[in-house]
Amino acid sequence: DAPTVLVTGGAGYIGSHAVLALRDAGRRVVVIDNLVTGFRWAVPADVPFVEGDVADMALVGRVLAEHEVGAILHFAGSVVVPESVADPLKYYRNNTAASRALIEAAVAAGVPHFIFSSTAATYGIPEVVPVAEDSPQRPINPYGMSKLMTEAMLADVAAAHSMNYCALRYFNVAGADPQGRSGQSTAGATHLIKIAAEAACGKRDHVSIFGTDYATPDGTGVRDYIHVTDLAEAHLMALAALEADPARSHRLNCGYGRGFSVREVLDAVDRLTNRTIERRIGPRRAGDPDSLVADNHAIRETLGWQPRLDDLDTIVRDALAWESGLETRRG
Ligand code: UFG
């Protein structure tokens, strides 16, 4: 019988999809979430749920012991880049310091495997695109630095203690569970596909395009959008790899290896809804690279991961389906 998996941030966007994937695969799961940005209803009723903070070492220690946790998937954290610039200490608290406490609790309890939600933001503005895992990590905002510092802690801890880890560096996560069980629900969205879906559902009157003078084919920013369900699957496979070879740790990009521009995303939304979102051309947003696309050879080769929903229309369609039913689901 496979050991229980602790999912921190399991009531959040990506964490809730990971909980579904683990549960669908028959793994026992326990969730810790402080519900600051997550939702209690995003966690299935049959999954044990603990409301609390991952920085609370006593609480985490009790959960690890009580549930005999054999692996941690650590999603809890703050994720809004401009907010990290305005309030850096919030990011060093919620991402770096909270992770440090969680890792210490994990080491104290002898938890052997740790999977960490890292980000392409750790690369900053890459010199070479698609960007590979051994590219320089030079974050250009506190969000990326707060995540890079946690990667560094994990590398040192894995060398010193009997724990291996996998840092998964997410590119632009979007879409929703194809079965409609979860999706992106947090208010005050900053992510393009979420914002476009809100506009398509009449919740916004326009979408701003942040810059049209980038060094890209149509002048707007190019990103590697990955379906959240493919990403959840990558976590399952990463867990299997850590369990199969406890001597090895991994740092892996999670992306599809191809990019779409802002205009291409908005055109896809228009095409799928038979409507036209109003676009307003605005200035560049600080810290946005021209193009950010993953080299994903490593995750394919190391984990045997194969994207199944690698299609912009599929991502947008699932995001739209979730967005249109969100208020009803929220109750
Ligand atoms: N964009 C717009 N208008 C909007 C929102 C976004 O034009 O209203 C553009 C951005 O300028 C960018 C692209 O759409 O070119 C994607 O922007 P997002 O805000 O959706 O995502 P980012 O690429 O800025 O950042 C995301 C996550 C970070 C992560 C980063 C790494 O927000 O957490 O990807 O790839 F670190």
The CATH class that applies to domain 192-223+257-330 reads: alpha beta
Nearest Cα neighbor of 293 from 224, 225, 227, 231 is: 224
pLDDT score at 178: 97
Neighbours of 16 (CB within 10 A): 31
Our answer on whether the CB atom of 191 is closer than 6 Å to any ligand 1 atom is yes
The Cα 247–Cα 136 span in angstroms is 25
Strand-pair category, 260-261 with 222-223: antiparallel
Contact 72, 115 (CB under 8 A): yes
Residue 292 Cβ inside 6 Å of ligand 1? The answer reads: yes
If pLDDT is split at 50, 70 and 90, which confidence band does 330 have? low
Please state the three-class secondary structure of 228-266 as a single string: HHHHHHHHHHHHHHHHHCCCCCEEEEECCCCCEEHHHHH
Q: Are 61 and 105 in contact (CB under 8 A)?
A: yes
28, 123, 209, 270 from 220: Cα distances, Å: 43, 20, 8, 17
Q: How many angstroms separate the CA atoms of 120 and 177, rounded?
A: 22
Q: Which fold has domain 4-174+225-254?
A: Rossmann fold (3.40.50)
What's the number of CA atoms in the CB half-sphere (13 Å) around residue 162? 7
Looking at residues 64-74, what average pLDDT do you find? 98
Q: How far apart are CA 57 and CA 63, in angstroms?
A: 10
If pLDDT is split at 50, 70 and 90, which confidence band does 327 have? confident
Mean pLDDT of the residues in the chain: 97
Question: Which positions are catalytic?
Answer: 143
How many other C-beta atoms are found inside a 10 Å radius of the C-beta of residue 146?
28
Q: Is the CB of 29 under 6 A from ligand 1?
A: no
Q: Give yes or no for residue 78 having a pLDDT over 60.
A: yes
Integer Cα distance of 6 and 52 in angstroms: 13
Residue 308 and residue 92: Cα distance in Å, rounded?
A: 35
CA dist 175 and 182 (Å) reads 10
What is the share, in percent, of the chain residues with pLDDT greater than 70? 99
What span, in angstroms and rounded, lies between the C-alpha atoms of 93 and 55? 9
Assessment of whether the complete model's pTM goes beyond 0.90: yes
Identify the band that residue 187 occupies on the pLDDT scale cut at 50, 70 and 90.
Answer: confident
CA–CA separation, 35 vs 240, rounded Å? 28
Report which ligand 1 atom has the smallest distance to the Cα of 214. Answer: 15
- 175 CB neighbour count, 10 Å cutoff: 30
Phi, psi (degrees; rounded to nearest 5) at 321: -60, -45
Q: pLDDT per residue over 108-164, tens digit each?
A: 999 999 999 999 999 999 999 999 999 999 999 999 999 999 999 999 999 999 999
pLDDT one-digit tens code per residue, 30-50:
999 999 999 999 999 999 999
For the cut 60, the answer to whether the pLDDT of residue 331 exceeds it is: no
CA of 27 from ligand 1 middle (Å) equals 33
Is 202 within 8 Å of 326 (Cβ atoms)?
Answer: no
Residue 251 has pLDDT above 90, yes or no: yes
Least confident of 134-138, 236-240, 246-250, 284-288: 284-288
CA of 313 to the centre of ligand 1 (A): 18
pLDDT at 286: 83
Domain boundaries, the chain: 4-174+225-254, 192-223+257-330
Q: What's the gap in Å between 291 CA and the centre of ligand 1?
A: 10
222 lines ligand 1 (CB under 6 A): no
pLDDT, greater one: 189 or 180: 180
**What number is the average pLDDT over the span 73-83?**
95
Predicted confidence band of residue 197 (pLDDT cuts 50, 70, 90): very high
Instruction: Give pLDDT, residue 17.
Output: 98
Atom of ligand 1 lying closest to residue 144 CA: 36
- Given a contact cutoff of 8 angstroms between Cβ atoms, the answer to whether 315 and 277 are in contact is no
Task: Say how many Å lie between the CA of residue 151 and the centre of ligand 1.
Answer: 22
